[in-house]
Every structure is written in C-alpha cells, then in structure tokens.
Homo-oligomer: A and B are copies of this chain.
Amino acid sequence: MKKPVQNRSKATRSRLISVATELIKKNGYEALRVEDVVTGAGVAKGTFFSHFKDKDALMELCIGTRIDAILDQVETKLKPKDVTDLVDGLLPLLNFMTCERYVFDVILRYSGAAAVEEIGAIAMTFDRQGKVLADWLADGPFRNDVSSQLLADGVQAFLIQAMALKFCALHNSQSTVEILVPYLEAWLNPKTVV
C-alpha cells in the first residue's frame, strides 16, 4: 500500500529551505548550521536528515538555485564577439562562484564530480552552462576545427583554473578576469598551426 507524499512534509521541506536561504543571506554560506535551520523551522534535527541526505545536499540545492537564477540572466545575452566579451558575459557567474572560498569548494566537489548515484543540482547547472557556452561559441569568431561542445568544455576547465588561482597564495593579486583572458585567447583563438 503506497501512499503519496503528505502536504505537511512538503511544507516542512520548504520551510527548511526558506529558513536556510534566510540564514545564508544574513551570515553567508559557510556559517550555516543545521541546528540553526531546524530551530528556525521549528522541527527536530532528525527531520532535517529525512529531507536531505546530508548538509551538503541542502547546500547544493541553495547554491544550485542561485546559479540557475544567474544563468537565466546570462542566457539572455547576445553571442560574444570576442574573448573579452565572453568573459564579460560570464562575470556574474564568476563573481558568485568565488564569493566565498567555501562556496567554491562545494561547487568544485559537485560540479563534474557529482555523486555517482544521481546528478545533483550543481552538476545540472554546469551542464546548462556548457550548453549556453556551446551555443555562444558555435559559428562565432572563434576556431572551428573542433566541436563547439569541446570548446565549451575547455572554457569551463579554464574558468575553474582561473577561479582556483584567485584563492591561491601566489596569484591572488591578479583578478580572475586578468588570469582568464590570456588562457581563453589561446584556447579560442590559436595563432599558429603546427
């Protein structure tokens, strides 16, 4: 006898999410405590973990939602006419992803390397980002010897590289954009054939 999900369950879940969102807005992602979320939502600790596999699952949801919202904006932009333009279009994404070291770590952990069992919220946004990029790069003023999907994947790899360097002791004087542009120039507009 299989019974459907009860309304109170949905209510509890959405209360947990909205309390979490509120707390994050106030104190940032890293400072979020499960205990504060459950107290705020007026439920016991165990309830939290019957709604989310672990704290990371909630984190993924919150961060994923946020990235999705940013992608909504980014997506409306016109195809970039050069590398600087491209980076410009991605800036909102970059800024959010590097807003906290902790956020970047979570994103890294769940970007490509999502749990093997199922595709998480963050991995989804990377997929979506890949599609937006592939669309931007197709039939544009960039190299065309490889598929636009491969080009897009490469851009993502360099994005991550550049963001990582932002948090690095050696390179944190340069901005992410400064680091990124030469990479992408070399990737998207190679100047020699071997």
Contact residues of A with B, CB < 8 Å?
Answer: 101, 104-105, 108-109, 111-119, 123, 127, 141-146, 150-151, 153-154, 156-158, 160-161, 164-165, 167-172, 182-183, 186-187, 189-194
A167:B101 contact, CB within 8 angstroms:
no
Chain B residue contacts of A160, Cβ below 8 A: 157, 160-161
Identify the 6 closest CB pairs spanning chains A and B, nearest first. A190-B190, A112-B164, A157-B161, A145-B191, A145-B192, A113-B167
Chain B residue contacts of A119, Cβ below 8 A: 169-170
Sample (8) of A-B pairs whose CB atoms are under 8 Å apart: A108-B109, A112-B168, A123-B170, A146-B191, A150-B182, A157-B161, A157-B183, A190-B193
Q: How far is the CA of A169 from the CA of B157 in the complex (A)?
A: 18
B154:A158 contact, CB within 8 angstroms:
yes
A115 nearest in chain B by CB position: B169
Chain B residue contacts of A105, Cβ below 8 A: 109, 113
A17 to chain B, nearest CB (A): 23
Chain B residue contacts of A111, Cβ below 8 A: 164
Q: How far is the CA of A109 from the CA of B164 in the complex (A)?
A: 9
A123:B194 contact, CB within 8 angstroms:
no
Q: How far is the CA of A153 from the CA of B153 in the complex (A)?
A: 16
Chain B residue contacts of A183, Cβ below 8 A: 150, 153-154, 157
Kindly identify which residue among B115, B118, B127, B172 contacts A116, using a CB–CB cutoff of 8 Å: B172
B190:A118 contact, CB within 8 angstroms:
no
* Known contacts A116-B169, A168-B114, A192 near B150 by CB under 8 Å: no
